Amino acid sequence: MRHLLGIEGWRRDELEAVLDRARAHLPGGPDTTHLLRGKVVANLFFEDSTRTRTSFHMAARGLGAGVLDWSPSGSSTSKGETLLDTARNIEATGPVAIVMRHRSSGAPHLVAKHVRCVVINAGDGTHEHPSQALLDAFTLRQRWGSLDGRTVLIVGDILHSRVARSNLWCLKALGARVIVCGPPTLVPPGLEALGAEVTHNLDAVLPQADAVMCLRLQLERMSEAFLPSTREYSRLFGLTTAREERMKAGSLVMHPGPINRGLELAPAVADGARSVILEQVSNGVAVRRAILEVCTS
Amino acid sequence: MSATVLFRRGRVIDPRNGVDGVRDVLVRDGKVAEVSDAPLPVPPGAEVVEAAGRWVLPGFIDLHVHLREPGEEGKETVLTGCRAAVAGGFTAVVAMPNTKVVNDSGLVTELVLSRARAANLCHVYPAGAITKGLKGEELAETGELISAGCVAITDDGRPVMNAALMRRALQYATMFGVPVMVHEEDLTLSAGGAMHEGSVSTRLGLRGIPASAEVAMVARDLVLLEETKGRLHIAHVSCEGSVRLIREAKRRGLFVTAEATPHHVILDDRAVGDYDTHAKMAPPLRADRDVEALREALVDGTIDAIATDHAPHGVLDKQVEFEKGINGIVGLETALGLTLELVHAGLLDAKRAVELLTHGPAKAFGLPGGHLAPGAPADITVVDPLEEWTVDAHRFYSRSRNTPFHGRKQKGRVVQTWVSGRKVYADGQVKESR
């Protein structure tokens, strides 16, 4: 049994084992409904989520597990219960794994130190979103076979993105070159030390990318004046149809969702031939089945 | 209690008086009576402390301690804080005013002093607030605070964000000759931050506090200091930029002093590890180049004192999400061992280390003690510089256990603490006489 708290620290062979296993969980694959039969997976989502929560739910059910779907509204957290008390109480009901999303970076690490079951990070603050990174990598491997020698460009609000960090570690571990691009106010310091190349000039690097991963601009943070306006952001960092024309032939467009259409991604690009956005969502279930299987085995 | 005590053949390190060598120290009626190269005869009825192989030092003085009383006695009280102090070799502590109730009036000062008298362990010097309720809006009654017994004014825990008010505080305090002690943090730059801004905060996805949040305020206050001809003491300096500005200000003759904590000179931001709230403080643990700068500043005199910023908190304040964790660690009982790490590593000589714990703080705040000349208070700390031990937070005298140093191996330990000629700590036990 092993927690999945982040991609950082996982070796290439370990990541590849999860990704290889995910293939068996694609639609049409062998019956895996016995793998967690009689077990319960607890979904602890302290933050709103549609895609990830549903995907983990479907994954757990697909392995034969029962699912405890927990949310803070109407729970004891609204009465002031601490995170650890909530987690320990859920653990006491006997789940084989806790799948957890929380607005504080590191919250799953805290829980993992105090419970005996597996903890799977479904997104913590602005830290990591490991299952998203794995499904992104899986989608790229489906298209390319291998990530070795490929260049992935991550564009947008890097500072607040848990997807960016997990993808950086995952893609680098799998052999890709990673460039991150965004306005200086939304690019945190020290990314080079983590293995990324950093630029603030999208047009300069766009033609180098085999895949462009657009990140959601967190509009709720606009009040903190990270940017002059969404209009200017779109002009400088939006993947418009004009920019798409300058992309490398056969290159891909990705987005972890939800998309601000017309802001970070033009609708025609989001729905266009390069887009693998819905494939990412579909692959999410298979990858999360593999995560549950590998972590609880 | 012995009226006469003879410390025999210890290595006496008394930086103020230029002493570093084997001496006998005779204490009579609570004061140092004689320090002698040659062995002294044992006076009739004297208690003899055989100190060969040990260091006999002026009692340590901590300019920055949170005793939590009144208001948060579950974390610490004046009594438990004093126990922790003497167990750590401190014979005097300056108590911060951010208690609940805030020490912004003579009444609260008197309460703290009366608790200290009742504890009867070490000297407790209260610091009063700069502003009423630490709100940064109106000056507290500095005159009343000083006459009640405060030795400095500070809003520690919070900066004085209003520059005009800070200017007036410096001006007004010149009447009383006390330092204005400042917690330097521009709240607009640090807002929402949980640790130092750098590659570690980026890796952990935690919002960072840039070094500029401190340096910008140090720069502002040094400008105000020059204009007001006041007296400024900068608390818990944490970064290279601050050190540079303080060094330059001292060179130009401004009346500025500064302190650094043992944790800021021992640990860097990597100590946060996997969200260890015991490594969460304000100012945050900085980058390794900042640690290097602080160490250089300890050596060259830019930093005047090592102060612990002893900040007791309960388990529930720390066993939470990192962003929710309360800042601060306890420090009184680990200060010597951590300081000696620098000495054993050859980064600081023993005499300078002792100066930073004794004469340096005494001079910065104009406090008695900090040296062992005849006539000085017999506040004495005896140290075994070679004893190896492991920090065990469960055995602290402090009521709180919040330290990142639990389990850390140390070389050098306080074996006895004497205050005004009375043995208050020996053989691992605090000696109370109430």
Q: Does B204 touch chain A if contact means CB atoms closer than 8 Å?
A: yes
Bridge partners of residue B380, in order along the sequence: B58, B418
Edge-first strand order for the sheet with A151-155 is A197-199, A177-181, A151-155, A211-214, A252-254
List of chain B residues whose C-beta atoms are within 8 Å of the C-beta of residue A191: 199, 202
> What percentage of chain A carries pLDDT values higher than 70?
98
Bridge partners of residue B412, in order along the sequence: none
Q: Outline where A145-276 has alpha helix (H).
A: 162-173, 202-205, 230-237, 241-244, 267-270
pLDDT at B231 over 90: yes
Q: Give contacts of B 234-293 with A, CB under 8 A.
A: 274-275
Q: Which of A117-126, A200-209, A218-227, B397-406 has the lowest mean pLDDT?
A: A218-227
Q: How does pLDDT run across B238-251, given as a tens digit for each residue?
A: 999 999 999 999 99
pLDDT at B1 over 60: no
pLDDT for the residue numbered B410: 98
pLDDT at B2 over 80: no
Contact B275 A109 (CB under 8 A): yes
**Alpha-carbon distance B413 to nearest alpha carbon in chain A (angstroms):** 33
Q: How does pLDDT run across A177-210, given as a tens digit for each residue?
A: 999 999 999 999 999 999 999 999 999 999 999 9
Q: How many helices (H) and strands (E) does chain B have?
A: 14, 19
Contact B316 A82 (CB under 8 A): yes
pLDDT at A75 over 60: yes
pLDDT for the residue numbered B434: 62
What burial letters (b/e) apply to B158-188, b meaning 16+ CB within 10 Å? Answer: bbbeeeebbbbbbebbeebebbbbbbbbbee
pLDDT for the residue numbered A266: 96
pLDDT at A254 over 80: yes
Terminal CA-CA length for chain A: 6
pLDDT for the residue numbered A218: 83
pLDDT for the residue numbered B47: 97
| Mean pLDDT score of chain B | 97
On whether the CB atoms of residues A133 and A291 are closer than 8 A, the answer is: no
Query: Coil, helix or strand for A123?
Result: strand
**Rg of chain B, C-alpha, whole Å:** 21
User: What is the Cα–Cα distance from B18 to B14, expressed in whole angstroms?
Assistant: 6
Q: How does pLDDT run across A24-42, given as a tens digit for each residue?
A: 999 999 999 999 999 999 9
Contact B322 A105 (CB under 8 A): yes
User: What is the Cα–Cα distance from B405 to B281, expressed in whole angstroms?
Assistant: 14
Contact B203 A165 (CB under 8 A): yes
pLDDT for the residue numbered B237: 98
Q: Name the residue facing B319 among A84, A104, A127 (closest C-beta).
A: A84
pLDDT category at A77 given cuts 50, 70, 90 is confident
Residues of B marked active site are found at 309
Q: Name the residue facing B198 among A82, A124, A189 (closest C-beta).
A: A189
pLDDT at A80 over 80: no
Q: How does pLDDT run across B251-274, given as a tens digit for each residue?
A: 999 999 999 999 999 999 999 999
Residue linked to tokens 């420090």: B331
Nearest to A276 by CA among A133, A130, A143: A143
Average pLDDT over residues A243-270: 95
pLDDT at A116 over 70: yes
Cβ-defined contacts of B316-320 (< 8 Å, 24+)? B316/A82, B317/B402, B318/B277, B318/B278, B318/B280, B318/B402, B319/A82, B319/A84, B319/A110, B319/B277, B320/A82, B320/A83, B320/A84, B320/A110, B320/B277
Q: Does B345 touch chain A if contact means CB atoms closer than 8 Å?
A: no
pLDDT for the residue numbered A232: 92
Average pLDDT over residues A121-142: 98
> What percentage of chain B carries pLDDT values higher than 90?
99
Contact B275 A106 (CB under 8 A): yes
Terminal CA-CA length for chain B: 12
> CB pairs below 8 Å between A and B: how many?
70
pLDDT at A225 over 90: no
| Mean pLDDT score of chain A | 95
**Alpha-carbon distance A182 to nearest alpha carbon in chain B (angstroms):** 15
Q: How does pLDDT run across A148-162, given as a tens digit for each residue?
A: 999 999 999 999 999
On whether the CB atoms of residues A209 and A235 are closer than 8 A, the answer is: no
Q: Does B205 touch chain A if contact means CB atoms closer than 8 Å?
A: yes
Which residues are within 8 A (CB) of B16 and not within 5 positions of it... i.e. 6 or more apart?
B58, B355, B358, B359, B362, B363, B370, B371, B373
DSSP designation for B304: -
pLDDT for the residue numbered B75: 98
Which residues are within 8 A (CB) of A275 and not within 5 positions of it... i.e. 6 or more apart?
A252, A253, A254, A255, A269
Nearest to B377 by CA among B39, B24, B92, B63: B92
Contact B205 A191 (CB under 8 A): no
**Counting beta carbons within 10 angstroms of the beta carbon of residue A160, is it exposed (0 to 12), middle (13 to 18) or buried (19 or more)?**
buried
Which residues are within 8 A (CB) of B51 and not within 5 positions of it... i.e. 6 or more apart?
B7, B8, B9, B10, B11, B382
User: What is the Cα–Cα distance from B350 to B8, expressed in whole angstroms?
Assistant: 20
Contact A125 B319 (CB under 8 A): no
The separation between CA A108 and the C-alpha centre of its own chain, rounded to angstroms, equals 15
Which residues are within 8 A (CB) of A31 and not within 5 positions of it... i.e. 6 or more apart?
none
pLDDT for the residue numbered A262: 92
pLDDT at B145 over 80: yes
Q: Name the residue facing B324 among A104, A124, A165 (closest C-beta).
A: A104
Could you tell me the two tokens for B277?
A: 């709230």
Separation in Å, CA B330 to CA A152, B77, B80, B327: 46, 13, 12, 11
